[in-house]
Amino acid sequence: MRSPKRRHDWLLGRWTAKHLVQRFLLATTHQTAPLATIEIKNEDDGSPFVELHAAIGIPGDGSNGSNRSNGSNGSNGSNGSNGSNGSNGSSGRLPVCLTISHCEEWALCAVIALDSRQATSGPAASAGQAPPAIGVDIERVRPRDWNFVETFFTEAEIRQVQTAPPAWRDTLITAIWSAKEAALKVVKLGLTVDTRRVDCVCNLDRAPDDDWLPLQVTYHPATAAAAEIMPGWWTTRDGFVLTLAFSQNMA
């Protein structure tokens, strides 16, 4: 990475993700994995996965443990996790789904436990039902030109923005855009598809400051495949919007 900013963002995301996985493992195995033994890698599609180079009990008996974290320069993080203690004391690919996002000096990550059989990528994993998946995104709230909304938002999303209280429009526009990015991580496509195939409804019945509000995303594939509905949550923190979306088989 030749760009200092890209290198900084990449390192920030990795640093936050490694600490999150470390805390997740402590909660699920009651053992501390040194950060140097936690490696974040990428699939061919760019989505991250975790390899552990330490002989500790790895969770993977099918229970669903979840963990959410956000950090700024290593100083701010939150964690909620539950799961069971795996009995296999071996290293290797962790049966988890990890998602990472970063913006300016902030990184947002989330991780959930998978059944060890679900953690394998490739055709073997896609032969049956796709494993549970999550996606997160973090964006700075800022004014955006109306042309941005008309270009990238669906008609339903445009109506949401038009009917929102004026004081919350910039926040809602940012939240809808962020939810699109989070949802496209769930389906492992990123911004390779027309964002108008992703329709987001962000609840705004009260101020989202420091409180998670529900959202729902509907992804309409270009093929004849059925639409995929993804529940999720969104909030605002210190001028940023944070979004989390997850596959329906997690709901």
Determine which of 46-60, 120-134, 228-242 has the lowest per-residue pLDDT on average: 120-134
| Terminal-residue alpha carbon distance, the chain | 38
Q: How confident is the model at residue 1 (pLDDT cuts 50, 70, 90)?
A: low
| Res. 148 pLDDT band, cuts 50 70 90 | very high
Calculate mean pLDDT across residues 207-228: 88
**Cα–Cα distance list, 181 to 62, 164, 186, 189, 197 (Å):** 28, 21, 9, 9, 12
Please report the pLDDT score of residue 205 as a whole number. Answer: 86
User: Are 4-132 and 137-250 in the same CATH fold?
Assistant: yes
* CATH class of the 137-250 domain in this structure: alpha beta
- Per-residue CA distances from 73 to 76, 114, 180 (Å): 8, 29, 26
**Quick one: pLDDT at residue 71?**
40
Between 1-5, 97-101, 169-173, the lowest mean confidence (pLDDT) is in: 1-5
Is pLDDT at 73 greater than 50 in this prediction? Answer: no
Output the 3-class SS for 38-89.
EEEEECCCCCEEEEECCCCECCCCCCCCEEEEEEECCCCCCCCCCCCCCCCE
Q: 237 burial class (0-12, 13-18, 19+ CB within 10 angstroms)?
A: middle
Determine the average pLDDT of the residues in 193-220. Answer: 92
Strand partners, 92: 52
Confidence grade of residue 198 (pLDDT, cut at 50, 70, 90): very high
Res 78: pLDDT: 37
- Domain ranges for the chain: 4-132, 137-250
What's the rounded mean pLDDT across residues 141-165? 97
Looking at the predicted structure, is the pLDDT value of residue 144 above 70? yes
Whether pLDDT at 168 is above 70:
yes
4-132 has which fold?
Ribosomal Protein L22; Chain A (3.90.470)
Query: Do β-strands 198-202 and 92-93 pair in parallel, antiparallel, or remain unpaired?
Result: unpaired
Mean pLDDT of the region 53-67: 56
Per-residue pLDDT tens digits for 93-107: 999 999 999 999 999
* 3-state SS class at 209: strand
Q: Give the per-residue pLDDT at 116.
A: 63
Note the pLDDT tens digit of each residue in 110-142. Answer: 999 997 656 555 444 444 567 899 999 999 999
- Cα 152 to its chain centre, rounded Å, is 21
Q: What pLDDT sits at residue 100?
A: 98
Range of weakest confidence among 94-103, 145-154, 222-231: 222-231
